Homo-oligomer: A and B are copies of this chain.
């Protein structure tokens, strides 16, 4: 092997080109299909997932930089690095979640690819909710509630619109400007959106078939959803809770629900499962997808998908992006690693 070992770098413009060329619908459909397939074949024995870890700080605004590593036996190592800085949109006109993902070859340790994962994170989070909805919610047409109308809300709606016919969306946010711009941001989905007052969160669980919560609620300030009797068969995608003390759902809703975590240990620490006794937590999403027929009757129950973010979703997303890029010749190849012409001499000129 004497060819230079380049790294495929997929930056902002490359990701935009992929979305343009593949199309939003096709891309999210692929993401859902790949995640479904990976869930079906998932076994903890062949895929290692390290618990998300990172550095958290208040200076004075909350911020964190975290890593989410995974390794499927025989496949590459994939690590997503993700920053969460909730003050970003208001203070800096930047998304609260900014991320990159990288892929390493496990024969050599070579960095194969580095890509933006900001859009991928929104896509895979939407895809996971769509998959949970497809398995756990009744067939449509459905009324969809969305609480918290930031970036994640766009892909929640988009992804769910690919697995269910949506009759109507009730959408709300405590930030009225963010709420007002939502219909325009999701116009491409072709679904009627009603922007409701923030107070509607009190009763929304009784009014919809599927509910997505994706807020940036402050620590210890939740829940954001009212403690009303939920509509029978309600399915909730709880996306926002991903930090100790951050909660969106009322305990009563959870205590009557079939709760499906994405990754149980992380959900117990950071997700809605903070409020759920361990013995009441259901199987993880991958198992529900794998054994779908067996869980079909759960559609009549109130169900909650506790989505804290699963590194395997990021692995699936990066591999799909790289595949799309390679098929279209998108991205640049950069020799990043200094691989000396003499492997025993670190100062030898690079290949």
Q: Which residue of B lies closest to A20 (CB)?
A: B349
Q: Which residue of B lies closest to A150 (CB)?
A: B344
Q: Which residue of B lies closest to A71 (CB)?
A: B55
> In the complex, what residues of B have CB within 8 A of residue A188's CB?
347
Q: Flag if B116 contacts A114 (CB, 8 Å).
A: no
> Which of A85-93, A224-232, A234-242, A258-266 lies at the interface with chain B?
A85-93
Q: Flag if A104 contacts B77 (CB, 8 Å).
A: no
Q: Which of A63, A96, A152, A344 has the most chain B CB atoms closer than 10 A to its own CB?
A: A344
Interface residues of A in 322-351 (CB under 8 A from B): 332, 334-340, 342-351
> In the complex, what residues of B have CB within 8 A of residue A67's CB?
67, 69, 79
This chain's copy number in the assembly: 2
Q: Given A50-B53, A94-B108, A98-B109, 17 other A-B contacts at CB below 8 A?
A: A12-B337, A13-B350, A63-B109, A85-B108, A88-B109, A92-B108, A98-B111, A98-B337, A122-B346, A150-B343, A150-B344, A154-B344, A178-B344, A181-B344, A185-B342, A185-B347, A185-B348
How far in angstroms is the closest Cβ of chain B from A324?
14
> Can you list 5 A-B contacts with CB-CB less than 8 angstroms, sorted by A residue number?
A15-B350, A79-B81, A99-B109, A122-B346, A181-B342
Given contacts A12-B351, A109-B84, A151-B345, contact A336 B116 (CB under 8 A): yes
Q: Flag if B63 contacts A106 (CB, 8 Å).
A: yes
Instruction: Judge whether A176 is part of the interface by a CB distance below 8 angstroms.
Output: no
Listed from nearest, the 8 A-B pairs whose CB atoms lie closest are: A83-B109, A12-B350, A122-B346, A89-B343, A55-B71, A116-B338, A65-B77, A98-B109
